[in-house]
Amino acid sequence: MGGKESSRNSSSNSYSSSSSSWLSHFWSSARRTKPLVYPSEASIRASSIDGLIRRLGLFELILIGVGASIGAGIFVVTGTVARDTGPGVTISFVLAGASCVLNALCYAELASRFPALVGGAYLYTYTAFNELTAFLVFAQLMLDYHIGAASIARSLASYVVTILELFPFFKGIPSWIGSGEEILGGTLSINVLAPILLTLLTIVLCRGVGESSALNSFMTVLKVVIVIIVISVGAFEIDVSNWSPFAPNGVEAILTGATVVFFAYVGFDAVANSAEEAKRPQRDLPIGIMASLLICITLYIGVCLVITGMVPYKFLGEDAPLAEAFASKGLKYVSVLISIGAVAGLTTTLLVGLYVQSRLYLGLGRDGLLPSIFAKVHPKLHTPIHSQVWVGIVAGVLAGLFNVHVLSHILSVGTLTGYSVVSACVVALRWKDKTESQVSSSSWREGLLCLITVAFCGFGAGLLYRVNASFIFLILAVIVGIIALLALYFRQVYAEPPGFSCPWVPILPVVCIFFNLFLFAQLHHEAWVRFVILSIITVGVYAFYGQYHADPSSEETVIYHRAPREDA
């Protein structure tokens, strides 16, 4: 009996020791950070035989940002929101654009700090905070990208069919080709054209950044020209009396409209993910981010003024409000232009989205958080061909078999999460720039606690606003957030970063965090469930794979090719 008892105790102690060792390894791995790489150190590496190539100039970077942001939404979202907001939708777009400018300033600083590495929000989080948080940010962003790409592909297929049916030869195209045909009681929705379009764009992206950039540039310029034509023609059809009353449903409707149209600007972060392929990244990335966003704001405002001036807001259509507005004025040729512009817009948005996804997978493959096959770059084409094909396959399966439009209400979780964490990274990296003697561990913990407090205050204020709670509670949440901001401002020391500097740190990043989490609270409750479930799955994947394979110093294995002299 004694021998059995001793054996049982020994086995129990061994299991306890093994469990303790696993948790200890998990905790130490999760808290690892990626070493800071300053621009002066981001020179050409020579320890690998292949890598990405620097071909993107400032003009191409700006077009990537515009291409990612301006899709068919400019022809639809502006009108549908105007139905609820009235002519005041213009102010909604101004407010949302101003908020995105603040977020873009944070992105611009970090893009300037890390001009030679892919990864975007994931990379910044890995450097500023820790490995596990970076992996969580990647997962949330990637689900947004995958569902978004599939949804855009189905919309593009539908628009292509619409244009084809303008010609008698293509009349009567079956729904399963481009519109989608539901089977098995709606469980599946077959669409053949969407995966074909995704395959073609994936091939273009695999061929090289030069080819994909040329296609994006052509399509983006085309849609911008069409939008300018639409604005110019529509300006002569404006009846100023349609702008009165300007805010028929009050200021609250304008603010609610701002939370809706905020997502129409999402896409400027694609410029940051082009860091490793930009010719002069430290200079061009901040300019590309800000310029592309300002162009988008200008175009959105112009379309808002035209559409609400042409037709009383109550009579705007729901499916294609801008096209219907011009048709009502007898300008059907403009409606055709709008359809062409929508195709161009969706094509560029999809192209840039697939491009960004592959670069994120490339970054995680290099760091070991995903299998090394994602890190492989074709030695001649200089593209992450395996990552690109994987992204195309996932999007193709989703677009070909499912009506992903029904999942749209769980989108934007990753975007708002990523934007919030990027803003926090700006503050945290300013602390890290100080020596250890200047920033103690207790000071770091205090600053981190303040950032978390601001995030909870933003989310809490958003919830209170959503449920129409007493204004006093809303003010209380704002006051607590301001107290946390004051603690960050007066009790922390901030260094000036190399390259572009985000102004008014920590005030501006804290405002971004608060507003982004405020918007997060406005999302459908299923989006919150998605956030929690995906986070649990991500932690599980990290626990059983990522923590054992990750290598935070993996940037030493990357070589950066410069563009040929004639391309410079």
Cα gap 353→549, rounded to integer Å: 27
For residue 326, pLDDT over 70 is answered with yes
Look up residue 352 and give its two tokens.
Answer: 């840039």
Cα gap 88→368, rounded to integer Å: 49
For residue 534, pLDDT over 80 is answered with yes
Chain position carrying tokens 């195709």: 343
Most confident of 335-344, 434-443, 536-545: 536-545
Q: What is the pLDDT of residue 352?
A: 92
Determine what percent of the chain is predicted with pLDDT higher than 90: 47
Cα gap 51→474, rounded to integer Å: 51
The β-bridge partners of 189 are 182
440 falls in which pLDDT band (50, 70, 90)?
low
For residue 566, pLDDT over 70 is answered with no
Fold category of 56-412+523-549 in CATH:
Amino acid/polyamine transporter I (1.20.1740)
For residue 13, pLDDT over 80 is answered with no
Q: What is the pLDDT of residue 316?
A: 84
Cα gap 500→112, rounded to integer Å: 6
Residue 102 Cα to chain centre, angstroms: 15
Q: What is the pLDDT of residue 267?
A: 85
Q: What is the pLDDT of residue 190?
A: 87
Q: Where are the domains of the chain?
A: 56-412+523-549, 413-522
438 falls in which pLDDT band (50, 70, 90)?
low
Average pLDDT over residues 137-145: 94
Q: What is the pLDDT of residue 114?
A: 82
For residue 49, pLDDT over 50 is answered with no
Q: What is the pLDDT of residue 319?
A: 65
544 falls in which pLDDT band (50, 70, 90)?
very high
Average pLDDT over residues 349-353: 92
Q: What is the pLDDT of residue 516?
A: 94
With a CB cutoff of 8 Å and minimum separation 6, the contacts of 146 are 357, 391, 394, 395, 398
Most confident of 174-188, 260-274, 281-295: 281-295
For residue 41, pLDDT over 70 is answered with no
For residue 490, pLDDT over 80 is answered with yes
Average pLDDT over residues 502-530: 92
For residue 445, pLDDT over 80 is answered with yes
For residue 45, pLDDT over 60 is answered with no
Residue 314 Cα to chain centre, angstroms: 32
Nearest to 485 by CA among 512, 507, 467: 507
Average pLDDT over residues 308-326: 83
3-state secondary structure of 506: coil
Of 5-19, 332-346, 359-373, 547-561, least confident by mean pLDDT is 5-19
For residue 44, pLDDT over 50 is answered with no
Q: What is the pLDDT of residue 513?
A: 97
Per-residue pLDDT tens digits for 168-207: 777 778 878 877 777 877 678 888 999 999 999 999 999 8
User: Is beta strand 181-183 parallel, antiparallel or unpaired with respect to 188-190?
Assistant: antiparallel
Q: What is the pLDDT of residue 5?
A: 53
For residue 73, pLDDT over 80 is answered with no
For residue 568, pLDDT over 60 is answered with no
